[in-house]
Amino acid sequence: MTLIDPDSKEESAKTNDKQQTSEASQWGYDLYPDRRHQQKTAGFFTGKGRENIEKIKCERSVYQCIKESPLIKLMMGALRASGCPIDIRRHISCEECAPTVSGGYDPIMNQIVICQNTVTKTSLIHAVLTHEFVHMFDFCKNDLDFKNLDHLACTEVRAANLAHCSFVSAMLSGDASPINIKQAHQFCVKNKALSSILAARNVTESEAIAAINRVFTKCYADLEPIGRRIRRNSNDMSMAYEEGVYYGYG
């Protein structure tokens, strides 16, 4: 039997806490405080927090998106076809987050986090779900390694490309003007990917930009599983869902 001095045990616990805090800061989990205190998988409709109005509203909006959105249905079908079926009780969680983020994907728990305190509109929850489903799809099908900065940059480029950017949003964020319509979408994608990387990882801006530039051409051209860039005020989502049947995503 090995004996542990009480003082040594206490110091070891403090060291472990520091290491966990450092790791959380490195990988972004400090942005999702509930992640640090969960001993068991937190999930959708688990009962805990039902009294929280924000949580209830968030869960209802998530359920509405899953039932009604062609794009969300397509993403869930693509994950199922790739061997990663979605159980909303297990893989989607509405939680309190840092005020600077709207959602995230936790690869350790294979779970999408919707920030119930910062994202309150169904349309915004839909955008977060789509964005994070792209990360989940990449993790499932493309062996995404979040510790690899180039891998992270690629999935952020893809998520921004497929779920976030349009010419209208680029205009609103100051990334485009009517003069450079051709480049507007790419500018938006790069800027969105950059902000996502900097929010989630402890890297410098120059490191993040270099990674984005290394992977951009290849990852910007990869439109799986949606197959097209979704334009605002169009029927692109419905068309993508209908076309998904041909690829086994229905």
**Candidates 59, 95, 132, 156; catalytic one:** 132
d(CA 58, CA 114): 8
- Catalytic residue status for 96: no
Q: Give just the sign of the alpha carbon dihedral 169, 177, 160, 234.
A: positive
* Whole-number Å distance between alpha carbons of 158 and 160: 5
What's the first-to-final CA gap in the chain, in angstroms?
58
Peptide bond into 99 cis (omega under 30): no
Strand boundaries in 96-178, DSSP class E: 103-106, 111-115
Q: What is the DSSP letter of 142?
A: S
Residue listed under structure tokens 């968030």:
58
Q: Which residues does the annotation mark as catalytic?
A: 132
